[in-house]
Structure 1
């Protein structure tokens, strides 16, 4: 216990800085993933002939090791935050894209036709019918993606992007378990907190009457 207190007294400020860097990198990548994957998923429901090809291509990118992706971006984007966010962004896209495409595609066609009968435009149907009904599944994809990215962001330390991975890799280089724990424990806590936060958001955006159905599927 005394060793932990001493460690925090010596490295507390740096730990806070690395935690903020980790949150910034992870959440920025997730935000970019949402801004790209949700509209793309909706658009693909309109062109199902190429949907599976696009999702398949993104799935292949997901299988590439994260370190290889990070290394790939270095010649183009250098080192630091930008290539780290770009790499994490690629990993964020698949769960959000797949869930958006699947959930919007499975909206009851009768409801879509009813919207057309009421004179709703395509944009109005997306905003008023499709997105509200698909939101629980879309949020589930965002939630999964966010939790994964919190863990993967530790690898950003390899290309000088900072984050809690700096503590982990310093501990490995110095053979100092205190540094490893100081990096690994906050990453775990951040992942758990992220899961809880997005679970609450998922519950909030779920229309009444849909939540019970989703839980019974």
Structure 2
């Protein structure tokens, strides 16, 4: 198998990097759309209890929908390709983003807000200088969970012609060639691991900066 993998990269490396590029593009566009939806809604949920209840119930409902089932449900309405794949992946990404955004803003101590008001800050300044920085570790953790979920689940997009590393996996399964399966599966695992480690590092850095600010 090792010889087959080496031979694949020697002869078809362009195809491999095309699949990686498609996978990364699909993941990036999905994350961007999910953030545009989840962050404002999560912030409102932290301020308005009925919105928080709606977001929590909505996130729980989304979690029980299998992404593969959603893909096939969307096909009769919007066909195959990138669009249904993005919609299905956005559905997967929203729950961790919503829950962690609400949790992050709810965890901001009222004491910090009172200090900010005492210093003459308005609501916009409180949000920008106090609430968002203090909630950022939770928000980043939500982004990390969502991105790992997106990268792992984007392999299913191959079923409806959206490309990505799933192409290698399903090609290998169809040809009974495990070298393709290993290349695709390991690549997805490496991308997920890199995303997780990068955000873990970023979260620790943000938390360290917060601790430094508090000590000052």
What TM-score, normalized by structure 2, do the two folds share? 0.91
The equivalent residue for 1:5 is 6
Contact 2:43 2:102 in 1 (8 A): yes
Deviation at 1:203, TM superposition (A): 3.0
Contact 1:107 1:133 in 2 (8 A): yes
The equivalent residue for 2:140 is 139
Return the alpha-carbon distance in structure 1 between the equivalents of residues 57 and 50 of structure 2.
12
Return the alpha-carbon distance in structure 1 between the equivalents of residues 200 and 107 of structure 2.
22
Q: Deviations over 1:134-187 (max 9, x none)?
A: 111111111111111111000000110000101111111111111111211111
* Alpha-carbon distance change, 2 to 172 in structure 1, aligned in 2, over 3 angstroms: closer
Return the alpha-carbon distance in structure 2 between the equivalents of residues 14 and 194 of structure 1.
23
* Alpha-carbon distance change, 172 to 184 in structure 1, aligned in 2, over 3 angstroms: same
Contact 2:173 2:181 in 1 (8 A): yes
The equivalent residue for 2:64 is 63
Return the alpha-carbon distance in structure 1 between the equivalents of residues 207 and 162 of structure 2.
36
The equivalent residue for 2:120 is 119
The equivalent residue for 1:155 is 156
The equivalent residue for 1:200 is 201
* Alpha-carbon distance change, 107 to 68 in structure 1, aligned in 2, over 3 angstroms: same
The equivalent residue for 2:87 is 86
Q: For 1:101-116, what aligned pairs fall within 5 Å after superposition?
A: 101-116=102-117
Return the alpha-carbon distance in structure 2 between the equivalents of residues 210 and 36 of structure 1.
30
Contact 1:99 1:141 in 2 (8 A): yes
Deviation at 1:207, TM superposition (A): 5.5
Deviation at 1:209, TM superposition (A): 4.2
What TM-score, normalized by structure 1, do the two folds share? 0.90
Aligned residues: 212
Structure 2: which 5+ residue stretches go unaligned? none
Contact 2:44 2:51 in 1 (8 A): no
Contact 2:55 2:98 in 1 (8 A): no
Does residue 50 (structure 1) correspond to residue 51 (structure 2)? The answer is yes
Structure 1: which 5+ residue stretches go unaligned? none
CA RMSD of aligned residues (A): 1.8
Contact 2:112 2:130 in 1 (8 A): yes
